[in-house]
Amino acid sequence: MIKYEESLIDEKTYRAYDAWAASDIRLLAKSYGHFDHKVKYPEDYSYTAALRAGTIVHACVLEPERFDIDFAVPPEINKRTKAGKEEWAEWESENGDKFALTQEEYDKAMVMRHHVLRNPRAKELFSGGMAEVPILWEEDINGITYKMKGRADYVKIVGDQVLVLDLKTTMEATYDAFQRSIIKWDYSTQAQHYKRGFEHLYPDHEVSFIWVPVEKSPPYGCQIFQASEEIYAHGQRIREEGFRNLEHGEADPNQLNLPYSDEIQRMKLPGWFKNRAR
């Protein structure tokens, strides 16, 4: 049986709950100023086209039954005519609480779902488990106890193993490209955060965090990558750094300054670029 926080099943309720999510800690690790800006100006972090596309694909792949019920493509209606306005009003009265998406968005999601499930291991992993699993736990970091939260894309238990699966839409799902994404977007923080959370819930199980990236353009490649101990260790260092920034930021208002220099700096080419084969 998969353990979860039933009161936080609703996504809006989960997001409003006062606890530390991986995304919060990732901002803290950059600087207290990064985190403070999001707290004070949440409108600057509005729902983007990328997040919308991710929401659609996640529902289509991980919760196909809910996708069929809660997502709908509005019919093409000329709302400038009286008959069109009436037809649209009737559609809205029957489907107003649904997630409206375009035909193009629907078709793209179905194509990506097909390519995820044509990978036999991905198809196996995304069956027999539970999607959108909210959890809560408390954890000591740097000698202080914090309340944590997480909402895993998909969780599956196999024997004494807990598999925490994360579906990612990406430009390129090759090993090298996704490795760069892990570094660029600090995915190691996410991996360690969820690993620690599920270890609290399942102390007698081995917890593994697994990414399943699928390309959002042709050829829609899909691969599977399991986080290594090196990844977890790096993620833990970032989490600890984030909470140190929190402590310092709360104690010293000057920490609100972003970590950017006001000096003119000479820009050079990176070593990896200069040393690459020509």
pLDDT, one tens digit per residue, over 99-150 is 989 999 999 999 999 999 999 999 999 999 999 999 999 999 999 999 999 9
How does residue 84 score in pLDDT terms, banded at 50, 70 and 90? confident
Q: Does 43 fall in a domain?
A: yes
The residues with which 57 forms a beta bridge, in sequence order, are none
Q: Does 271 fall in a domain?
A: no
> Which is more confidently placed, 243 or 47?
243
CA angle 25, 30, 33 (to 5 degrees): 95
Q: Does 267 fall in a domain?
A: no
| Rounded Cα–Cα distance for residues 144 and 6 (Å) | 27
Q: Does 274 fall in a domain?
A: no
Rounded average pLDDT over 181-209: 97
Q: Does 263 fall in a domain?
A: no
Q: What is the predicted pLDDT for the residue at 195?
A: 98
DSSP string for residues in the chain: -----GGG-SHHHHHHSSSB-HHHHHHHHH-HHHHHHHHH-GGGG---HHHHHHHHHHHHHH-HHHHHHHEE------TTSHHHHHHHHHHHHHHTTSEE--HHHHHHHHHHHHHHHTSHHHHHHTSSSEEEEEEEEEEEETTEEEEEEEEEEEEEEETTEEEEEEEEEES--SHHHHHHHHHHTTHHHHHHHHHHHHHHH-TTSEEEEEEEEEESSTT--B--EEPPHHHHHHHHHHHHHHHHHHHHHHH-GGGGS-S--SS-------HHHHTS--
Range of lowest pLDDT (24-33, 76-85, 162-171): 76-85
Q: What is the predicted pLDDT for the residue at 267?
A: 94
Q: Does 262 fall in a domain?
A: no
Q: What is the predicted pLDDT for the residue at 78?
A: 78
How does residue 66 score in pLDDT terms, banded at 50, 70 and 90? very high
| Rounded Cα–Cα distance for residues 64 and 135 (Å) | 22
| Rounded Cα–Cα distance for residues 87 and 76 (Å) | 10
Q: Does 125 fall in a domain?
A: yes
How does residue 278 score in pLDDT terms, banded at 50, 70 and 90? low
Tally of domains in the chain: 1
What is the span of the domain harbouring residue 76?
Answer: 6-257
> Which is more confidently placed, 207 or 75?
207
Q: What is the predicted pLDDT for the residue at 277?
A: 56
Residue 140: CATH number of its domain: 3.90.320.10
Q: What is the predicted pLDDT for the residue at 257?
A: 82
Q: What is the predicted pLDDT for the residue at 47?
A: 75
pLDDT at 212 over 80: yes
Q: Does 265 fall in a domain?
A: no
